[in-house]
Amino acid sequence: MSGAGAFTLDGMAIAYRDGETIMEAATEAGVYIPHLCHQPGFKPHGSCKLCTVSINGRNGAACTVRAQDGMTVLNNTPELNDSRRALTEMLFVEGNHICPACEKSGECQLQAVGYFVGMMTPRFDHFFPARDLDASHPEVLLDRNRCILCELCVRASRDMDGKDVFAIGGRGIRARLIVNSPTGLLADTNLSAKDKAVAVCPVGAILVKRRAYETPIGRRLYDRQPISEVALEEAKTLKGKGHG
């Protein structure tokens, strides 16, 4: 039965409030659990599986499983970290991610998670999928080559912007980010560069035009701090503003 109490995470006691997930409680306690599809303020989704932890001996997503009193959770184990490296590798090879030439380099969460989990070179063959780029919008570029199908833009556009600009079409290897317009082009939507759906993209799939190198590479967010520190600071800031 769920209720306010405490559980152990890698041997450390973690307090939680009624209704909090393992991820929320851990973050509040200053413990980073790797993730990509999770964002504070968003309804838990559990699609990327990077936040998988061991809960009383069984695996579960830390972003969706609610904390319970007395549960034993493991986060930092060789097995879980190996799985996270493999998942990160698969995200790289299933898309077309060329970090040195990417405008998002240094501010990309996928790249930063790769560094955090020690994924320097994928072990798997690259798929090199044929994905298109939509530059039709005057303010925003959509490059599906970098999309990791986290659905953050889909959820943000629907739940926060109230526009329902994006969706996921197709299944399996054919799944792709689609645009809800008669032509399928971004230019024929009411998307704005100021929309939450644009800002929330964790990779370089959705970019505001003419701003690529305002901050030089080497001085960007994850160039200065590892993603673990950034994520904990951002969650603390959001909570202070009443969003947590």
- pLDDT tens-place string over residues 95-149: 999 999 999 999 999 999 999 999 988 899 999 999 999 999 999 999 999 999 9
Q: What is the DSSP letter of 67?
A: P
Strands, sheet with 5-9, edge to edge from the N-terminal-most edge strand: 12-16, 5-9, 72-74, 52-55, 58-61
Report the relative pairing of strands 52-55 and 140-143 from DSSP bridges: unpaired
Between the alpha carbon of residue 188 and those of residues 131, 149, 194, 231, the distances in Å are: 20, 22, 17, 34
Tokens at 51, concatenated: 């936040």
Domains along the chain with CATH numbers? 1-123+217-244 (3.10.20.740), 130-212 (3.30.70.20)
pTM of this structure = 0.93
Q: Which residues of the chain have pLDDT under 50?
A: 1-2
| Residues contacting 220, CB < 8 A, separation 6+ | 105, 106, 107
Which residues pair with residue 188 across a beta bridge? none
Q: How far apart are CA 113 and CA 202, in angstroms?
A: 11
